Amino acid sequence: MLKYIAKRILYIVFVFFMMSIIIFALYSAVPGDPAMMKVAPLKDTMTDEQFEIIYQNTRKTLGLDDPLPVRYVKWMKTVVTLDFGVSSIYNRPVLDALMTPMQSTIFINIFSVILALVITIPLGIYCAVKKFSKFDTAVQVFTIVGYSVPVFIIALVAIFFFAVKLGWFPVSGMNTPNFQGNAFEFFVDRMYYLALPLFVMTLSSLGGMTRYVRAAMIDALRMDYIRTARAKGLKERVVIYSHAWRNALLPVITLILGWFLSIFSGSIVIESVFALNGMGRVYLSALNNMDYNLAMGIQMFYIVVTLIGNLLIDLSYGIVDPRIRITK
Amino acid sequence: MSKDKKKSKGFSSTLFGRLFGKKQDIDSILQEEQMQSPMRTVIKNFLSNKLAMTGVIVFLCIFLFVLIAPMKYKLDLSFQESTQTNIAPGFDMMKLPAELKKNVAKISIGPSYGVGIDKNGTFYIWGKTQITPNINLRNLPKELYGKKVIDVAAGYDHVLALTSDNEIIAWGNGRLKQLDVDPDATRNGKIVQMIAGYQVSAVVTDKGNCYTWGNSAVTDVRVKQKQQGKIAKVAFTADAMIGLSKEGEALYLGSQKNMYSEIPEELESGVVDIAASGQSCAALKEDGKVVIWGSATKGEKDVPETASKIVSLQGGRFHYTALTEDGKLLAWGQNNYGQTDIPANATKEPIANVYTGYYQNYVVSESGKVATFGLKGYLLGTDELGRDLFNRLINGGKMTMTIGAIAVVISTVLGIIIGGISGFFGGKVDMVLQRITEMVSSLPFLPFAMILSSIVGGRMTETQRILMIMVVLGVLSWTGLARLVRAQVLSEREQEFVTAARAMGVKQMSIVFKHIIPNVVSVIIVQATLSFATSMLTESSLSFLGFGVALPRPTWGNMLTGCFNSVVIQNYWWRWVFPSIILGICVICINLIGDGLRDAIDPKSNER
């Protein structure tokens, strides 16, 4: 197992460096001249020749004229130390500016993942056990709609009914402006504002998840050992939850983690729609305002999250399914 | 089943048998199974799947529609029309109330509605009267009830009514003083003309005075002191006022120097009628000659040749109508809504009156019948720039589908090649290709596409940008198919036919692509169908966020971009409901087709 983990981690590191090359290629394609940006304010205070000298010096210190591999190594050094430069819209170091949005994004995502799991797993199992029943058919139709309709349309419909028509929830935002109160009241207020986005996020992920759980469960229920278990006279509940579900869990874990990753980037839409102060929205405004330092930092965050997620998928496979860690 | 066949040998089946060759009777189920090739089983399975077939039919309808309809409904990217913004769906803009149809006294036309009075002095209003989320012109002011109305005027967002006791009642949007009626208007003499334009209004009295009120910041209205007492008639363009003096001179009733104020010299005398369109003015000379000045870019100057003399003029938004002395009706100018296509029933009877305004025309015959032509309304309403939503929906659909289809083609080709090579050759090639696949699949899709579009797309032309989106979608989404193809190829390559092909010395590449791939084509089709849906969704999300196809070119995604505020969601529901519905239905159908195909191909999944 240790060898397996080590191998995977090594592989992840390799992939990270490959990815960083892609990102670096993007980074060097960013329009604009950083040296000129730095010295432009000095232009009026000196003659053209002096300015040219200073400009060339800045280019040299920034290393803009170095060959690409050298620039890549330099850039990599800053990335590894988590130094992404200064964000131009926040006027702060990128990492610093990202702290709060990152927290809220992680909070929203984990919360909605848990919410969705609590609903989809029992629902999927139930549908698999009672397949072709009326309830199952209804759920099937619903789930097709669920995974076909893009999240912003679900959000529109939800806003229309719950925020505009019924007025139960606020249309957008994360907190009442200028909210005063203790930590608990603040949390309640926050949850009131997040209820609708969380609802939409959960709803949009129900479709695919339920179908997947159901399919995995049906596959598991068709196995010979289920027949054996039933023949032994085990209770149906034991057969389903203990024998079938444990085996259906394997594909489901991949799905959950994979989906957990996609939700990070998927929450860009939700955050922009509901004006939540999360990574996605910051990313959007960074791109719209051409704050590429910030955008690169977030892009790196997404990639790291994906890679760690992939590692977790592999490791969880190893834990859940002994066959995998033996063969590899 | 076989029993049924033997029993029913009616005429039609005999005919069918004679025409297309006789089908052999099937004796047992076993034989039937043997006769069917796998492909036929698949097709049969698929055709019997009602849900999937519904999906096919609906999708094909939408697909053909967005493919064919744009040929008729061409997209004009630069089009915008400030008088037609946020109009609700429906074709009732010129639907006169039945009671009014019998005895029309006057009709006045607003951008999306009409007002009129009958000979008894009863007031009517029809059309799209909701001009802002809070103001509906149908909510008549209390003062109007029980009064006899002798004149009406419809403006851009306000309505004026003159009652028989010489009082002007104004209602509608009063934010820019449209409703602050000049008190002098009703004091000095009898009102001979009352007119409402773009947030401004004017009345002309029998003493030749003109009184104006409203938003003079947009419309240049300032009647000079020396002009007062001479005015016989006035007309509004979108941002100016012209007048006709009692002596027959065309006047500019404003203080600025602009294209309207340069009145042609020949109009210093002998003018009998004036009219104004949105950006041009027209004057009719005694001899029936029509002179147009101002900005006439939409064909307003193309006065049709006519044998008889023109006696009166009317101006619409970008078109004119005119009556000749022998009762013929002429119309010229912009014709995007059919506002210059005079229908046959309008000219059948002698014409008493023509009312033209914005894009609508009402022709009242001497016997009191009313014929209308021009803009009836919009099937799906209009958006914030006055663009027809239906037009944008079909053109956007074409764009969305094209991008989705090409992206799928790219990703499918890549997936087949990489998956096929990876699965067939195995070993180190497989190892490298697998790692690349993993790497691409772990690139966070949406953020990556966004940053790519932001950094690279900024320097591109529109076409290049659209191409780039197709390529990005395709290049980032082949991994799923590659894995699937690889797995299929891995199992297929151990089959005998591959060994046979090898033994015959077939080249390796042609074994992969000519012998193995055709055997896994069913899986590829299913995957391609499903990824078409995904591509459309991703394109929509990208465009929605503003990193896909850029406005003003529509796609189903970016049509929803401007809809996320409670005002639009609540009041202008048509702007988000229709694009959402069609995008939703389309993707649902594609997914149904994909699921149906998978069920048809893989009998095992049928049991699910």
pLDDT at B3 > cutoff 50: no
Identity at B221, one-letter amino acid code: V
* Chain A nearest-CA residue for B595: A144
Residues B438 and B563 in one domain: yes
B58 and A CB contact within 8 Å: no
pLDDT at B413 > cutoff 90: yes
Q: Is residue B355 part of a domain?
A: yes
Residues B211 and B349 in one domain: yes
Q: Under an 8 A CB cutoff, do B456 and A29 touch?
A: yes
Q: Under an 8 A CB cutoff, do B541 and A150 touch?
A: yes
B207-216: pLDDT as tens digits = 888 999 988 8
Model-level pTM?
Answer: 0.85
Q: Is residue B289 part of a domain?
A: no
Which residues of A fall within a CB distance of 8 Å from B442?
Answer: 15, 19, 303, 306-307, 310
Q: Under an 8 A CB cutoff, do B451 and A273 touch?
A: no
Q: Under an 8 A CB cutoff, do B566 and A163 touch?
A: yes
Residues B419 and B499 in one domain: yes
Q: Under an 8 A CB cutoff, do B455 and A265 touch?
A: no
Alpha helices by DSSP H, B315-388:
none
Q: Is residue B19 part of a domain?
A: no
B480 and A CB contact within 8 Å: no
Residues B367 and B504 in one domain: no
Which residues of A fall within a CB distance of 8 Å from B560?
Answer: 152-153, 156
Backbone dihedral angles phi then psi of residue A135, each to the nearest 5 degrees: -60, -45
B579-608: pLDDT as tens digits = 999 999 999 999 889 888 888 887 665 554
Q: In which residue are the tokens 């913004």 written?
A: B85
The whole-angstrom separation of Cα A155 and Cα B581 is 13
Q: Looking at residue B5, what is its pLDDT?
A: 43
Q: Looking at residue B16, what is its pLDDT?
A: 53
* Chain A nearest-CA residue for B542: A269
Portion 397-436 of B in contact with A at CB < 8 A: 435
B321-361: pLDDT as tens digits = 998 888 888 899 988 888 888 888 888 888 888 999 889 99
Residues B493 and B359 in one domain: no
Which residues of B fall within a CB distance of 8 Å from A292?
Answer: 455
B168 and A CB contact within 8 Å: no
User: In a structure prediction context, what are the per-residue pLDDT tens digits for chain A, which is 328 residues long?
Assistant: 677 788 888 888 888 888 888 888 877 777 767 677 767 677 677 777 777 888 788 777 776 777 778 888 887 888 888 777 777 788 888 888 888 888 888 888 888 888 888 998 889 888 888 888 889 888 888 888 888 888 889 998 998 999 888 888 888 777 777 777 788 888 888 888 888 999 998 888 888 888 888 888 888 888 888 888 889 888 888 888 888 888 888 778 777 777 767 666 667 888 888 888 888 888 888 888 877 888 888 888 888 887 888 778 777 777 777 666 555 4
Q: Among A110, A107, A74, A80, which residue's Cα sits nearest to residue A95?
A: A80
B563 and A CB contact within 8 Å: yes
B113 vs chain A: nearest CA distance in angstroms?
28
Structure tokens, A173: 């935002």
Q: Under an 8 A CB cutoff, do A272 and B545 touch?
A: yes
The whole-angstrom separation of Cα B546 and Cα B397 is 17
Residues B98 and B61 in one domain: no
Looking at the partner chain, which of B446, B557, B580 has a beta carbon nearest the beta carbon of A156?
A: B580
Fill in the DSSP letter of residue B245. E
B274 Cβ contact list (under 8 Å, min separation 6): B233, B235, B242, B243, B244, B250, B281, B282, B283, B284, B313
Q: Are B261 and B254 in contact (CB under 8 A)?
A: yes
Structure tokens, B544: 């929605």
Residues B127 and B221 in one domain: yes
Q: Looking at residue B26, what is its pLDDT?
A: 52
pLDDT at B29 > cutoff 70: no
Structure tokens, B298: 């939409």
Q: Under an 8 A CB cutoff, do A306 and B443 touch?
A: yes
Which residues of B fall within a CB distance of 8 Å from A303?
Answer: 442-444
Q: In which residue are the tokens 């008639």 written?
A: B233
Mutation site, B58, B59, B445, B454, interface A, largest A CB count within 10 A: B454
pLDDT at B554 > cutoff 60: yes
The DSSP result for B537-575, as a single string, is: HHHHHHHHHTSSSPTTS--TTGGGGGG-SHHHHHH-THH
Q: Looking at residue B590, what is its pLDDT?
A: 92
Residues B362 and B407 in one domain: no
The whole-angstrom separation of Cα A213 and Cα B412 is 27
B516-552: pLDDT as tens digits = 888 888 888 888 998 899 899 889 988 988 888 888 8
Q: Is residue B82 part of a domain?
A: no
Identity at B512, one-letter amino acid code: V
B70 Cβ contact list (under 8 Å, min separation 6): B394, B395, B398
Which residues of A fall within a CB distance of 8 Å from B434?
Answer: none
Residues B251 and B396 in one domain: no
Q: Under an 8 A CB cutoff, do A288 and B560 touch?
A: no
Q: Under an 8 A CB cutoff, do B446 and A265 touch?
A: yes
A187-238: pLDDT as tens digits = 888 888 888 999 998 888 888 888 888 888 888 888 888 888 889 888 888 8
The whole-angstrom separation of Cα B539 and Cα A299 is 20
Average pLDDT for residues B170-177, to the nearest whole number?
87
* Chain B nearest-CA residue for A285: B545
Residues B353 and B449 in one domain: no
Q: Is residue B315 part of a domain?
A: no
Q: Looking at residue B2, what is its pLDDT?
A: 43
Which residues of B fall within a CB distance of 8 Å from A260?
Answer: none
A40 vs chain B: nearest CA distance in angstroms?
22
> Mean pLDDT highest for which of B16-30, B37-51, B122-136?
B122-136
Q: Under an 8 A CB cutoff, do A144 and B565 touch?
A: no
Range of the domain at B597: 50-71+388-605
Q: Looking at residue A255, what is its pLDDT?
A: 74
Beta bridge partners of B168: B162
Q: Under an 8 A CB cutoff, do A18 and B439 touch?
A: yes
Task: Give, for B435, the enclosing helix (H) or strand (E).
Answer: helix B427-441
Q: Is residue B593 part of a domain?
A: yes
pLDDT at B12 > cutoff 50: yes
Mutation site, A23, A141, A148, A263, interface B, largest B CB count within 10 A: A148
Mutation site, A23, A98, A153, A196, interface B, largest B CB count within 10 A: A153
Q: Among A101, A136, A110, A308, which residue's Cα sits nearest to residue A205?
A: A110
Which residues of A fall within a CB distance of 8 Å from B544?
Answer: 150, 152, 269
A49 vs chain B: nearest CA distance in angstroms?
31
Q: Under an 8 A CB cutoff, do A153 and B583 touch?
A: yes
Which residues of B fall within a CB distance of 8 Å from A265?
Answer: 444-447
Q: Under an 8 A CB cutoff, do B448 and A299 touch?
A: yes
Strands B360-365 and B370-374: antiparallel
Q: Under an 8 A CB cutoff, do B439 and A131 touch?
A: no
Q: Under an 8 A CB cutoff, do B447 and A29 touch?
A: no
pLDDT at B385 > cutoff 60: yes
Q: Under an 8 A CB cutoff, do A287 and B450 touch?
A: yes
Residues B408 and B366 in one domain: no
Strands B113-118 and B104-109: antiparallel
A47 vs chain B: nearest CA distance in angstroms?
32
Q: Are B571 and B557 in contact (CB under 8 A)?
A: no
Looking at the partner chain, which of B446, B566, B595 has a beta carbon nearest the beta carbon of A164?
A: B566
The whole-angstrom separation of Cα A112 and Cα A266 is 12
Q: Looking at residue B30, what is its pLDDT?
A: 57
B259-276: pLDDT as tens digits = 888 888 888 888 999 999
Q: Under an 8 A CB cutoff, do B455 and A299 touch?
A: no
CA B181 to chain centroid, in Å, comes to 38
B533 Cβ contact list (under 8 Å, min separation 6): A148, B587, B590, B591, B594
Pick the last residue of a domain from B352, B374, B396. Answer: B374
* Chain B nearest-CA residue for A266: B446
B450 and A CB contact within 8 Å: yes
Q: Among B441, B440, B465, which residue's Cα sits nearest to residue B454?
A: B465
Q: Looking at residue B10, what is its pLDDT?
A: 57
Which residues of B fall within a CB distance of 8 Å from A144?
Answer: 588, 591-592, 595
CA B19 to chain centroid, in Å, comes to 48
Residues B400 and B258 in one domain: no
* Chain B nearest-CA residue for A215: B608
Q: State how many domains chain B has.
A: 2
Q: Among B288, B287, B192, B199, which residue's Cα sits nearest to residue B243?
A: B192
The whole-angstrom separation of Cα A4 and Cα A2 is 5
Identify the CATH number of the domain in which residue B104 sits.
2.130.10.30
- A243: number of Cβ within 10 Å: 19
Instruction: From residue A225, give the alpha-carbon distance in Å to each of A163, A228, A241, B235, B525.
Output: 50, 5, 13, 89, 34
B459 and A CB contact within 8 Å: yes
Q: Are A184 and A254 in contact (CB under 8 A)?
A: no
The overall average pLDDT reported for chain B is 85
Q: Is residue B34 part of a domain?
A: no
Q: Under an 8 A CB cutoff, do A153 and B439 touch?
A: no
B50 and A CB contact within 8 Å: no
B472 vs chain A: nearest CA distance in angstroms?
14
Structure tokens, B173: 């949007």
Which residues of A fall within a CB distance of 8 Å from B448?
Answer: 299, 302
> What is the interface pTM, i.e. ipTM, of the complex?
0.84
The whole-angstrom separation of Cα B539 and Cα B404 is 7
Q: Are B202 and B181 in contact (CB under 8 A)?
A: no
Identify the CATH number of the domain in which residue B497 sits.
1.10.3720.10
- A28: number of Cβ within 10 Å: 13
B565 or B89: whose pLDDT is higher?
B89
Q: Is residue B9 part of a domain?
A: no
The whole-angstrom separation of Cα B279 and Cα B277 is 6
